[in-house]
Amino acid sequence: MLLEVKARPTSFRFDPKRTALLSVDWQRDFLEAGGYGAALGNDVSVLRKAIEPAKQILSAARKIGLLIIHTREGHLPDLSDCPRTKLARWPKGKRIGDAGPMGRILIRGEPGHEIISDLKPLSGEIIIDKPGKNAFLRTQLEQILIETKIESIIEIGVTTDICGVTTLAGANDLGFDVLAVSDAMASYSLDRHKATLDIITAQGGILGWAAESKDLLAVL
């Protein structure tokens, strides 16, 4: 049975049996006041406004049995999977692998790498650790979606303009229909958040669709 959500540029139709919820990078380093995002001068309260809508979407998705996949951006302790462009772009002390407010910055297993308690994965839910922004890059995400016969993706997460849109564009290129839940995603910049959603839905939905959580929850 197809469900239909009020969205832009057109309604988004999906089969729950062929749909996954992709929960992107809700990590402590990005969202908590003592984390790496705040240390870079960002206002993390802007991101935290998306937590409650995301929490409601996650709960509803679990109740109806959607496949749920969580992602985390981070690297191996020896940085062997970290591209040069990510290592060299920031000053010493703020680079990936350096000591940060919550352990080594963006290193798997460190406190800051973990997903916040409000959106923590349940036992049995899939977690994808990714070395890049795009969750399909050098991960098994595409293969998992193919094996589980997924055709559509509902995306929530942070940040809209970086890991959110690169993952969404990657999914689109691979043939998946993607709905971005606009208020269950966030950027450190409200302007960039809005602009990214406009890009996603431009030209008849060149990358995907966008909907508000209240409209998705009404359907779920």
- Residue 141 carries which DSSP code? H
Beta bridge partners, 22, equal 69, 155
The residues annotated with a catalytic role in the active site are 25, 130, 163
Provide CB contacts within 8 A for 153, sequence distance 6+: 19, 20, 21, 22, 145, 168, 171, 176, 177, 178, 179
* H or E stretch at 205: helix 190-205
Q: What is the chain's Cα-based Rg?
A: 17
Instruction: Read off the amino acid at residue 131.
Output: P
- The dihedral over CA atoms of 37, 115, 3, 148, expressed in degrees to the nearest 10, equals 120
Cis peptide before 159 (omega within 30 of 0): yes
Is the peptide bond between 77 and the residue preceding it cis, with omega within 30 degrees of 0? no
Separation between Cα atoms, residue 172 and residue 170, nearest integer Å: 5
Q: Which of 77, 137, 135, 81 is nearest to 107 (CA)?
A: 77
The label of the residue with tokens 């089969």 reads 15
